[in-house]
Amino acid sequence: MAAAEIERHTLIPTRKTTIAVFTDIHYGAVVSLTQRRSDIADTLLLRAVQRMNRLVHPDVVVVLGDLVDDGSAPAAPERLARLRAILDKLASPYIVIPGNHDGDEGAFYQAFDRPDDMVDLCGVRFLAFVDREEPGYNASRSRLDIERFRRARADYDGPIVALQHVCLAPPATADIPYNYTNAEAIVAAMGAAGVVASISGHHHAGAAPVRNATTTFVNAPGLCESPFPYLLVTLDGDVVRVERNHLAMPASLGLVDTHVHTQLAYCSDNMDVEAAIGLARDFGLAGIAFCEHSGQLYFDAKRYWGGQAARDGISGATPEYNRMGAYLDLKQRYERDGVTFGLETDADFGGELVLDRNDRRAFRWVAGAIHKLPSLSTPGVTMEALEKEFLTILEGLVTRGIATLVHPFRVLRGAGSGPSERLFRSTAELLRRSGTAAEINFHHNQPPVAFVRLCLDMGIKFSLGSDAHSLYEIGEFADHLKLLEDAGVTGNLADVLVGVPG
């Protein structure tokens, strides 16, 4: 994460407010401008939305135009509807304005809600502008819209934030190739109204904030270009902070996603091996490891979800439902340097792997997973009893050569008060003695920081697994890295992480 750039101003917000800024999504077909990833724009936006909900929790999200690459294309209404459906997943309120690529303003606002002239959210008054396009990809603002600043201040003494698509800054002050032809008049009206921040998109590279006596002018970078940036703008007392963040992981970290599913998973959303390999590269990963559920390759969906794989083990599998051959075909076709195929091997209630011995020979590594416990659904069962069952199965798993224990305590999620410190220590001891890594995994899961700290103290290594069942999740390690930081990891990540055999 880049260090925050701090800009001071004269008005003091009544509360701290964080604004997430997405702009220039450019959803569309593959374009000749190869740096513009229009083809994965919906995946990028979904990744951004889920990160906001899970980790960032902004007060407001603003989306500043060019949502689609070509608003006149026949598919534009469908694409806008798709982006609207994704943005509606936000836990935060959001404001959307069109850009110069979005086509007809009326058609755009059939897909999205048109903001009022003044939108009051979270202690901030937002003014959203849709301005006239001018030659050279510049813009101009009408006198009526400039007058909006005065009206916005007349009955309001809190912070005002202006939103527009095209870059706006006092002339000759910012490193931007575009501006408003009447920027001086707009900036003067902002100053008279004490506008605290002006936020724009349009210039995909973005630019450093510029400040005058009253206003911080922010130019956000385009989400559509690697490493897929977005901004967090925080109003806090007499300070405006601007943080630039990226959806991609820093390539310098050399991270490997050791837990990615395929189209063969019963719980797959839109997984596809070929697409996943490309996204791993896009998202800055050094490698990707596919890790399909062994039980789902041997059992039909009804029996798998019903728990038969855990109750009966591999002996309960029948040939007519065996899809291991299909998984091995994917392995044969796609495995290469940086792309590995292993198994998320289910455990039966005796701690045996739900994995045929002959099939195991085809894989360099297998991970172990505890998805079921014998008494998990028994009314009145105690956490102590469940923890005993967990340890019995785990003891069997780690003696059978698993490389890592995936999502260690997810099976206990929602059961009573959660796993105890006693279980953490017993689990860590088994992992340490067997040389098994512990996976950090946030898929329907919240890894306990106390367990991570204990493992670090005991010298137990970690793997990073997205447990991706949807393409946007691949290599999404923002939570993982924050957890390691919270647990006290400050040095080289290679000292605490494992990858997979090459």
Q: What is the CATH number of the domain that holds 314?
A: 3.20.20.140
The answer to whether residue 223 sits within a structural domain is: yes
Binned at pLDDT 50, 70 and 90, residue 502 comes out as low
Q: How many CA atoms lie within 13 A of 143 on its CB side?
A: 0
272 shares a domain with 259: yes
Question: 246, 273, 300: which is the final residue of a domain?
Answer: 246
29 shares a domain with 165: yes
Cα separation of 291 and 370, whole Å? Answer: 15
Q: How many CA atoms lie within 13 A of 272 on its CB side?
A: 5
The answer to whether residue 501 sits within a structural domain is: no
pLDDT of residue 166: 98
DSSP calls for 376-392? TTSTT--HHHHHHHHHH
Q: Which two tokens stand for residue 436?
A: 């098994």
**pLDDT tens digits for 15-59?**
799 999 999 999 998 776 668 999 999 999 999 999 999 999 999
Average pLDDT for the chain: 94
277 shares a domain with 146: no
213 shares a domain with 270: no
In 435-500, alpha helices (H): 449-457, 478-486
Cα separation of 102 and 67, whole Å? Answer: 6
- H or E stretch covering 199: strand 197-200
13 shares a domain with 60: yes
Burial 180-189 (b: 16+ CB within 10 A, else e): bebbeebbeb
pTM exceeds 0.75, yes or no: yes
Q: How far apart are the first and last CA of the chain?
A: 30
Question: 202, 226, 246: which is the final residue of a domain?
Answer: 246
Binned at pLDDT 50, 70 and 90, residue 174 comes out as confident
| CATH number of the domain enclosing 158 | 3.60.21.10
Structural domain for 399, as ranges: 251-495
Cα separation of 264 and 267, whole Å? Answer: 9
272 shares a domain with 157: no
The answer to whether residue 500 sits within a structural domain is: no
In 319-470, alpha helices (H): 324-334, 357-360, 383-398, 421-434, 449-457
State the total domains in the chain: 2
446 shares a domain with 361: yes
431 shares a domain with 339: yes
Q: What's the DSSP call for residue 374?
A: T
Burial 109-141 (b: 16+ CB within 10 A, else e): bebbeebeeebebbebbbbbbbbeeeeeebbbb
44 shares a domain with 78: yes
The answer to whether residue 49 sits within a structural domain is: yes
Please state the rounded mean pLDDT for residues 420-438: 97
Binned at pLDDT 50, 70 and 90, residue 239 comes out as confident
The answer to whether residue 502 sits within a structural domain is: no
Lowest-confidence range among 5-14, 141-150, 326-335? 5-14
**pLDDT tens digits for 347-365?**
999 999 999 999 999 999 9
465 shares a domain with 365: yes
Measured CA distances, 210 to 104, 200, 492 (Å): 31, 12, 35
> φ, ψ for residue 10 (rounded to 5)?
-95, -25
263 shares a domain with 227: no
Question: 246, 270, 304: which is the final residue of a domain?
Answer: 246
208 shares a domain with 88: yes
Binned at pLDDT 50, 70 and 90, residue 80 comes out as very high
**pLDDT tens digits for 369-414?**
999 999 998 999 999 999 999 999 999 999 999 999 999 999 998 7
The answer to whether residue 71 sits within a structural domain is: yes
